[in-house]
């Protein structure tokens, strides 16, 4: 049997072009990893667009917790907590069963009146931080002072703990 020739339009194509190799983009990979970390840390965050201010959490989503420094000094410990804008009467410090607790509440109210409008904004927030105290602290002699938005707690060591301290000489080998 003989094949019947067909008249099909044939287009000549050149050989397929090799694909361009994917570029190495370390900053894109870094950005994706940072985004993933933020998504893990703040699951309620909804990213609307890259670098959008709407992609960051609102103040209500962040826990209110003061920044605290703890330093061991010769005679004991010093704890400083940043509490800006909080009235000293709204701060409570307690020592109970070897646990130091700093608790407080911030309330702020702003009112503005004009002939055409009335505006009133209120903000409330409370916090609590607790620290386990070592046995060497004399809790009865703990002192607290508050100035310029910084709470400073002084926790002296007991005389027994001070007497039992010993410096050990380091010898070169």
Same structural domain, 52 and 74:
no
Q: CATH no. for residue 130?
A: 2.60.40.790
Q: Answer yes or no: are the C-beta atoms of 66 and 102 closer than 8 Å.
A: yes
Domain membership flag for residue 142: yes
Same structural domain, 88 and 39:
no
Same structural domain, 46 and 108:
no
Dihedrals phi, psi of 109, to nearest 5 degrees: -135, 130
Same structural domain, 41 and 84:
no
Q: Domain of residue 150: give its range.
A: 63-163
Domain membership flag for residue 168: no
Task: For 42-61, write each residue's pLDDT tens digit.
Answer: 655 555 445 444 444 444 44
pTM: 0.54
Task: For 107-154, write each residue's pLDDT tens digit.
Answer: 878 888 888 888 888 877 888 888 888 888 888 888 999 999 899 999
Same structural domain, 104 and 141:
yes
Q: Counting Cβ atoms within 10 Å, is residue 45 exposed (0-12), middle (13-18) or buried (19+)?
A: middle
């Amino acid at each position: 049997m003989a094949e019947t020739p067909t008249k099909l339009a044939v287009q000549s194509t050149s050989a397929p072009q090799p694909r361009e190799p994917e570029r190495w983009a370390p900053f894109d990979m870094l950005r994706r990893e940072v985004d993933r970390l933020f998504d893990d840390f703040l699951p309620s965050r909804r990213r609307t667009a890259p670098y959008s201010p709407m992609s960051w959490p609102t103040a209500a989503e962040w826990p209110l917790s003061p920044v605290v420094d703890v330093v061991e000094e010769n005679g004991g410990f010093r704890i400083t907590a940043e509490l800006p804008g909080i009235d000293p009467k709204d701060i409570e410090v307690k020592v109970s069963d070897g646990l130091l607790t700093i608790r407080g509440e911030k309330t702020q109210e702003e009112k503005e009146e004009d002939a055409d409008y009335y505006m009133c904004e209120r903000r409330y927030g409370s916090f609590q931080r607790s620290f386990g105290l070592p046995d060497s602290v004399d809790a009865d002699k703990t002192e607290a002072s508050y100035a310029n938005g910084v709470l400073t707690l002084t926790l002296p060591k007991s005389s027994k703990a001070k007497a039992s301290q010993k410096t050990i000489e380091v010898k070169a080998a």
